[in-house]
Amino acid sequence: MAGAVLLVEAALFASRAEWAEATVTGIGEKKTCVRNAGKSGSTEYACYPVAYRFTTREGHPVAFTERRAEDELPTVGDHAPIRYDPARPATDVRFDTNALYRYGFPVAATAAGLAGTCVGIALLRRYRRAGTTRRTASS
């Protein structure tokens, strides 16, 4: 079910999103970030806040920040293709990635859910048939 929700959300965003090109405007001071926070396998790593700026189709400038690991740092002036929600350009910005990255997990989660549902239905039918057969045979 969660996969289907994620898939629908990704498709709805894609249908309304606008394309733009963001420019790296600055890189902040080194910070400590945590991967998988709250889990037993969490790890700390050095990260930097990277500031970006882009202009909406209507001509409004928008700035946003993301954290990047030390080995993935861009340089000031680099460009990155992004997609943004025109209704909320400052709060819903996503880097343009390939379709596999955008839809891979939601599709896989939906497929796993459907497969589990099919297996569950098949087992339930088999169980019911076996129960009916035993009652008939013991009568």
CA dist., res. 79 & res. 70, Å (int):
18
In terms of Cα–Cα distance, which of 119, 96, 122 is closest to 14?
96
Predicted pLDDT of residue 54: 96
C-alpha–C-alpha distance, residues 91 and 64, integer Å: 8
Residue 78: the pLDDT is 96
Task: Determine the pLDDT at residue 103.
Answer: 62
CA-closest candidate to residue 80, choices 100, 54, 105: 54
Strands 61-69 and 31-35: unpaired
Q: Mean pLDDT by 10-residue block, N- to C-terminus, for the chain (139 residues)?
A: 70 83 95 83 90 95 92 92 90 74 67 80 83 60
pTM of the model: 0.62
pLDDT at position 25: 97
- The whole-number pLDDT of residue 55 equals 96
Q: Please, what is the Cα angle at 138 between 133 and 139, to 5 degrees?
A: 105
